[in-house]
Structure 1
Amino acid sequence: MNEINQSLALAHAAKEFPREACGLLVIQKGREVYCPCRNIGVGTDQFVIHPEDYVAADRQGEIVEVFHSHPNLPPEPSQADRVACEATGLPWSIVSFPAGQWAQIKPVGYVAPLVGRQWAHGVLDCYALVRDWYVQERGIELPNFERFDEWWKRGMNLYLDNFGSAGFGVTDLTDRTDLKVGDVLLMQVASPVPNHAAVYLGDGLILHHLQGRLSSRDVYGGYWQKVSTHALRHPDLHRHL
């Protein structure tokens, strides 16, 4: 990103402060053009580029870089930034506002750790953890689903609406001795619908990522058993051992 576009992006960051600003850099007629985008993410610590703005930028020229700001924070990329950068396949520029310090990252094959990853809804959340466990431990690619923060409060029921298309079937949750490694446990955490998922690791342990916390291995008992609503099993799970 050249100095002119850095100035435009910095002005955009000032306009959006204290929320994160986001935009795209495109090549139009051989020149870099900065395209400011609307951030439709929830809160002040994340960004989601409006789909209409992404399409508009794509029509304007070839998208070659993603930009966003870190309000009152250093420009060092978070785990979610690195994961999302890999997904886009593009370089990312990050500016600390109002400090004006810059950093850039590029896709290098980064994969967030299964345990100890930071929370970022839609990028590093409980379903992302399930997907990553399946591909890393069993070589099974699960589909991703577009989701916004607190979708369960918006009249959506994403887990129950989509587990079938992800290849899962319901298994018996009443007999917990029948749980197998890799079974996915759906849970209802302060929600009208199941809104949390964990992977059963065997030996009474689960792997999960609760909102606002680091992902962790925990004992499957007490509260977690109480709020469990469904156990799901993938038919290909044990064919990939």
Structure 2
Amino acid sequence: MQECIDYAASSQDEVCGLIIDGVTLFKCRNAHEEPDSNFRITDEDWLAAEGQGEVTAIFHSHPINSPVLSGTDRVYQLASGLPWWLACNGDLYKFNPVPHLLGRKFEHGVTDCYTLFKDAYHLSGINLPEFERVDGWWLRDENLYIKNMEANGFYQVIANEAAPGDVIIRKPFLGADPCHAMILLDNNMVLHHDCSGHLSRREPYRLAFIKQTHSIWRHRECSSLNLAGIYADISVKSH
């Protein structure tokens, strides 16, 4: 929506507003004490917006070069339960209120390793599709990961060229398809969520994982993958 981008360009502070019925920007006053780096919408503005229709998203801008939600943004986004639209550098980004990346309980097809991978990429600026998967697919030669990686913009890279943001596909079970995805982060850490009973977590890319690695994949739009979105979200759950 060009109006959001133009509104952001009108101020050196963060601007904010509410999206009505998915299409209309209701401009709000930024009532935060530090408007250059934060925003707050007053109850009065919120009530006025609700008088014009359903509030379907929250909008704000980042005057600095940061086209992802900050850790603080993520806390308030999840409290709101709404998509957040962000204007930065003349572009408009839309972020769904996906759960925090760390601390998720595993539920296949709902919050599993693909969900974590997809949501982390979403917070970093690349949107991936959902696809149907029935528990045990890795035992039926369905090979969902390998079949879907290239189809959704990924290409394979060799291990010694792996870089943060790449997706590591593991084969943790003998006689089964590769069925577990991890995102490589800085300092040889990985973000992942497996069915071992642990919550989604960040941990070292240790020898056992390396031995189980089947392949490593990079998105064709990796230059637009902004890992600051992942790190900002992780920072909230790490303190």
Structure 1 residue runs without a partner (length 5+):
1-82, 87-108
Structure possessing the higher relative contact order (Cα contacts under 8 Å, 6 or more residues apart): 2
Which aligned pairs between 1:175-214 and structure 2 lie closer than 5 A? 175=160, 178-191=161-174, 192-211=176-195, 212-214=197-199
* Deviation sequence 1:125-184 (CA, Å, 0-9, x none): 001101001010x211011110011111122100111111111000012x1xx2211100
- Aligned letter for 1:157? N
SS at the partner of 1:141? Answer: coil
Aligned length: 131
Counterpart in the other structure of 1:231: 216
> 2:163·2:184 contact (CA, 8 Å) conserved in 1?
yes
Q: 1:240 to 1:186 in 2, by over 3 A?
A: closer
Partner of 1:164: helix, strand, or coil? helix
Q: For 2:104 and 2:131, how far apart are their aligned partners in 1?
A: 20
Q: Call closer, same or farther: CA 1:161–1:219 in 2, change over 3 Å.
A: same
Give the alignment of 1:117-196 within 5 angstroms.
Answer: 117-136=104-123, 138-173=124-159, 175=160, 178-191=161-174, 192-196=176-180
> CA–CA distance in 2 between the matches of 1:141 and 1:110?
14
Q: Is the 8 A contact 2:165 2:225 kept in 1?
A: no
TM-score normalized by structure 1?
0.52
Question: 5+ unaligned residues in a row in structure 2: which ranges?
Answer: 1-77, 82-95, 227-239
* Mapped partners of 2:145, 2:157: distance in 1: 15
TM-score, structure 2 as length reference:
0.52
Letter in 2 for 1:230: S
Give the % identical residues.
Answer: 37
1:79 is matched with: none
* Structure 2 match to 1:216: 201
Cα RMSD (Å) of the superposition?
1.8
C-alpha displacement at 1:237, in angstroms?
Answer: 1.7
Q: Which amino acid aligns with 1:188?
A: K
Q: What's the offset of the Cα at 1:110?
A: 4.4
